[in-house]
Amino acid sequence: MDIMKPIASEDIPIGKEWTYEVKYDGFRCTIHWTAESIRLISKNNKDLTANFPEMIAACQDLQTKIIPSLPLVLDGELCVLNNSFQANFGWIQKRGRLKNTGTIEKAAIQRPATYMAFDLLQEKGSPLFERKS
C-alpha cells in the first residue's frame, strides 16, 4: 500500500497542485470495505477492527448508500477528537491497547473514535489513478 509520507521543507509550497489539511494525531489506517466485511488495517498491517466497533457500526449505517461503490479502500486517520480541529493522541493509544470486549465497548461510548478519510484508494475493487500524491 502506498501511503503518503510528510516531506520536510523550510518553504511553504505554493500552487494549485498543493492542498493543506489539518494534522490529526491518531492511527493511520485503511478501511477495507466489502459487502461482507469492514476491516480497519494499520499502516503496520495490524488489524484494528475489534478495538473500534463504533467505526464498523458507522460504516454499516452508511452501507446501503454506498453499495454501488463496494468494494472500496479508504486511507485516513483514526482518532479520538477533543474538538473539530484537535485529536487526543493519548486516548487513541489507550483504545488501541484495550483487549477486553466490555472495556472496548464502554470506551467506544465514552470517547468514540472518528475516521478522517484522506483518500479513496480503490472503488468497485479497482485502484484509482487520479488521487492526491
Angle, helices 101-110 vs 53-66, to 10°: value is 70
Strands 27-33 and 86-87: unpaired
Give the amino acid at 58. A
CB 28 within 8 A of CB 37: no
Largest separation between any pair of C-alpha atoms in the chain: 49
Question: Which residues are CB-neighbours of 21 under 8 A, at least 6 positions away?
Answer: 118
- CA atoms in the 13 A half-sphere facing the CB of 83: 1
Would you please indicate which residues are annotated as catalytic (active-site) residues?
23
CB 31 within 8 A of CB 38: yes
